[in-house]
Each structure stands twice: as C-alpha cells, then as structure tokens.
C-alpha cells in the first residue's frame, strides 16, 4: 500500500508524495518570474488590441491595462506574493490581476494561449539581452581603441605557438581584439534582426477564430512583423539558441583575451599591470597580486557553452508544436546572459584600468630573433635571392647568433658575410624592431600608420 504522504523512492526531499513531486517538476515560477516585465508588456499590448478590434470593451481593456501596471509595481517593489501552485509567471500575474480588477481580468486571455504568450515574453527578454550585449560590446571596443591609440607605435613581440615570431605594435595587438569583438557585435545585431518577429496571436498552435490584429500587437511590442506560421511561432526557440551561440563565441573571445592578461601580468612577462580593483592577494603570500577577474572570465565560457549544448539537446527531438520540454529553455539562457554581461563588464574594467609597460614590451620585442623574417625579406628585396634561399641563409645566421649567445643585430658584418658574402651594412636598417614594424605597411599590417588608420575607421563605425 502506497502512503501518499511519504514517497520512499524520492526520500525526504518530497515528504508530500506524488502531488508535491508533480508540482515541483511542473512549476517554473522560481525562474520565469524574471519575465514579469515582458509578460505584462505583452498583456497590455494584447488588451489594447482586443479593444481596438471590438473583442472586448474599451472599459474592460482600460481596466486590464491599468491593473497590469499595478501588478508590475508590486513585482518591482518586491511586494508580490509569487505562488508555486500557480505554476508560472503568466498565471501568477493573471490571478493577481483578477484580485485587483475583478471580472474583466478573465477576458485578457481571449485570442491567445500560454504557448504564444511565453514565446513572446521570452523573445522580448532575449531581445533586451541582445540590446544590453550590444551596448557592452561597444563600450569594450571603445576601451580597446583607447589602448590601441595610446600605444599605436609601441613595439612588442608578436607570437605564434606562444613563441616569439615577429615584432608588432601594442596598438596592433589591441586592434585584433577590436576586430574580434566587432564580429561579436555584428552577430548580436544579426541575431536581433532575425528574431524580431512576434509570436503573439499564434495562440496554442493553430491561430485563433477571433478577429485579432497581429500587426498591431507586433508594432506595439517593437517587432518588425508577426511570425508567419502559428506552429513555428509557438515551438521556435532558435532565437534563444542563436543568442547562446553568439554568447559562446563572444565568451571564447573574452577568454582568449583573459588568458593573455593572465600571462602578460605575470612576473615573467610584466607586459601589463592590472589595477587593484581587478586583482586579489594571497592569504599566505604577501607578494602575490592575482589576476582573478581575468581567470574567472576565462572560466565563463564553460557555463555559457554548456548552456548552448543543453538547450540544443532539449530541442533536438521535439515534434511540432509545443512540448513541456521547452519549459527547460529559460534557466540556461538566464544564466548564460548573466555571466556574459558580467564578463563583458569585468573585461571592460580591466582593460580600461590596466597599464601597459612600454619598456618591458620593447625589451621583449627584439628577443627570440624576432626580426629574422625582416632579414629574409631584405635578402630577397636587396640581393634578389629566391625566398627559399633567403630563408636558408637567415636560418644559418640565426644558428650563428644562437651559438654566440646574441641576437641578430649583434652579429658583426663579417660574421654575416661569412654566411653570404653580398650582405652589406644596410642590413642593419631592417634588424631594428621599430624599423621592422614601420615597414609592415600592407593593409591590416602592424605599422603605426596602419594602426591609426584602423583606429579611425572603428571610431567612425562606433560613433
């Protein structure tokens, strides 16, 4: 005999048995209450449309719209008594509206369903997040631009495989992140444009027999148009998946930059100093200044990418139209959005406050035979050697410098001529790191002139 008040299968977690288990798994109010503002905006637009089309009276619509503002005020002030028994934000709002205005509240749901209601609310929320992300990316890009402009002609080592490759400028390195975040910004704006179709009025899945005006509600809520297929409108979560995809790529870019800040701020590199506002100390090692904010940003990609995978798996096997599985769409998106915005704000603060060590950057720029490619190019350009031959000669000179324990510019002309007799003293003009970066004048190159041009271009784009 089953005791309804205690379910051994679930242990002590659900003392009230199957009814409590069903309520717990079915309810979403603990998290979807974040949709309150969007839910009320959608309901107010719907009420106005019901009156404009003659489906409800003007007086009932006015009562609903004013009552909804009262409910919103209670939610925003923290006075609203959310009920898990009412399952979700939609039923909680509607139940409270009935208490506030009485019988007219029962007419609010005419011509719609919770299916199109939640799709509309969620789209509005994701759209707000895309707008917030847009603003945060623009702010971060402007911060990177300021760093790039200040150090447009500061030399530093460029790396491949984290090994010194060729000299670049600090400004050029900062502008690489401007380009990355610029693509993120483009994806944010593309996603927003693509998702801006209104599901409201699709009802449960087939539309409605009431003479609703979907263009009116779409316009009122800032959508470009109503969604064209009612089945798709209530079952589509592409907008959430695309947001998570955009967020994952952006978080990956933030993680890459965070990794460089961790490396650059180390005692071994000393390329940058992070401010105390974005660093922490050690409980036992008084000399430590840890780049914790950068490390935490670096970790955010795991949460955000995990959310992307989780929602993809929720959606992958669902038949049309709505299934309760889709209630699992929100928590992942909420968490990803919160962490992306936090990471963007933290990175903006770190880059804004950090100080680049010009002297350390320049000292490292010439190490590791970083001008070897310039030497090879000089052999091609001045002596007319085929590049493969120039590559071989340069490799021999690098080996000679390595054996001597010096860098290329410190080899004597006689030592160079022992490898190739036609080398003359003008070779030293290309072996300095400043000369090296100044020569990289191809479009998109590291030359200070090119860096300043790109800074100007992005300033114009961002306004």
Q: Which residues are catalytic?
A: 161, 282
The b/e string for 179-210 (b: 16+ C-beta within 10 A; e otherwise) is: ebbbebbebbbebbeebbbbbbbbbebebbee
C-alpha to C-alpha distance for 449 and 455, rounded to whole angstroms: 10
Q: Give the DSSP H/E element, type plus range, for residue 160.
A: strand 155-160
Q: Are 453 and 150 in contact (CB under 8 A)?
A: no
* Preceding amide of 232 cis, omega within 30: no
Name the one residue in this structure whose structure tokens are 């923290």. 78
**DSSP labels, 195-207:** H-EE-TT-TTTT-
Contacts of 60 (CB under 8 A, 6+ apart): 51, 104, 107
CA-CA distance, 374 to 439, in Å (whole number)? 9
Q: What are phi and psi of 10, to 5 degrees?
A: -100, 0
In terms of Cβ atoms closer than 10 Å to its own Cβ (0-12, 13-18, 19+), residue 138 is middle
**In terms of Cα–Cα distance, which of 173, 174, 146, 169 is closest to 448?**
169
Residue 293 exposed, middle or buried by CB count within 10 Å (0-12, 13-18, 19+)? buried
End-to-end CA distance of the chain: 72
- Provide the token pair at 81: 């008594």
Query: Running DSSP on this structure, what letter comes out for residue 163?
Result: E
Pairing verdict, β 272-273 and 155-160:
unpaired
Q: How many residues belong to the chain? A: 463
Estimate the share of the chain in helix, then strand, then coil, as percent rounded to the nearest 5: 65, 5, 30
């Amino acid at each position: 005999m089953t005791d309804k008040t205690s379910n051994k299968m679930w242990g002590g977690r659900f003392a009230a048995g199957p009814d409590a288990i069903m309520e717990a798994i079915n309810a979403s109010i603990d998290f979807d209450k974040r949709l309150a503002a969007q839910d009320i905006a959608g309901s107010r637009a719907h009420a106005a449309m019901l009156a404009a089309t003659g489906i409800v009276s003007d007086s009932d619509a006015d009562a609903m719209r004013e009552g909804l503002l009262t409910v919103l005020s209670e939610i925003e002030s923290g006075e609203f008594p959310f009920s898990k028994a009412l399952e979700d934000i939609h039923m909680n709002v509607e139940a409270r509206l009935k208490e506030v205005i009485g019988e007219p509240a029962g007419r609010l749901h005419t011509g719609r369903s919770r299916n199109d209601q939640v799709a509309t609310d969620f789209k509005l929320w994701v759209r707000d997040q895309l707008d917030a992300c847009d603003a945060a990316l623009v702010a971060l890009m402007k911060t990177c631009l300021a760093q790039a402009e200040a150090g447009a002609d500061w030399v530093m080592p460029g790396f491949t495989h984290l090994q010194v490759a060729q000299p670049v400028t600090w400004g050029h390195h900062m502008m690489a992140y401007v380009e990355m975040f610029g693509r993120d910004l483009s994806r944010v704006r593309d996603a927003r444009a693509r998702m801006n179709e209104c599901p409201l009025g699709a009802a449960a899945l087939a539309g409605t027999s009431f003479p609703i005006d979907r263009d009116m509600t779409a316009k009122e809520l800032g959508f470009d148009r109503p969604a064209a297929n009612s089945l798709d409108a209530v079952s589509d979560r592409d907008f959430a998946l695309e947001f998570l995809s955009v967020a994952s790529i952006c978080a990956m870019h933030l993680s890459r930059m965070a990794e460089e800040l961790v490396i650059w701020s180390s005692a071994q590199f000393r390329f940058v100093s992070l401010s105390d506002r974005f660093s922490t100390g050690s409980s036992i090692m008084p000399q430590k200044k840890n780049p914790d904010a950068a490390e935490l940003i670096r970790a955010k990609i795991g949460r955000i990418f995990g959310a992307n995978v989780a929602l993809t798996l929720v959606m992958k096997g669902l038949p049309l139209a709505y299934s309760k599985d889709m209630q699992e769409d929100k928590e992942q998106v909420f968490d990803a959005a919160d962490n992306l915005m936090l990471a963007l704000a933290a990175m903006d603060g770190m880059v804004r406050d950090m100080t680049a060590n010009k002297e350390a950057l320049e000292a490292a720029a010439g190490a590791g035979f970083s001008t070897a490619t310039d030497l090879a190019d000089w052999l091609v350009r001045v002596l007319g050697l085929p590049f493969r031959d120039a590559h071989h000669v340069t490799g021999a000179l690098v080996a000679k410098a390595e054996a001597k324990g010096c860098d290329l510019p410190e080899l004597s002309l006689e030592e160079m001529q022992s490898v190739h007799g036609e080398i003359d003293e003008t070779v030293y003009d290309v072996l300095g790191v400043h000369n090296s970066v100044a020569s990289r004048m191809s479009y998109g190159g590291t030359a200070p002139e090119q860096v300043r041009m790109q800074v100007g271009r992005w300033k114009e784009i961002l306004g």
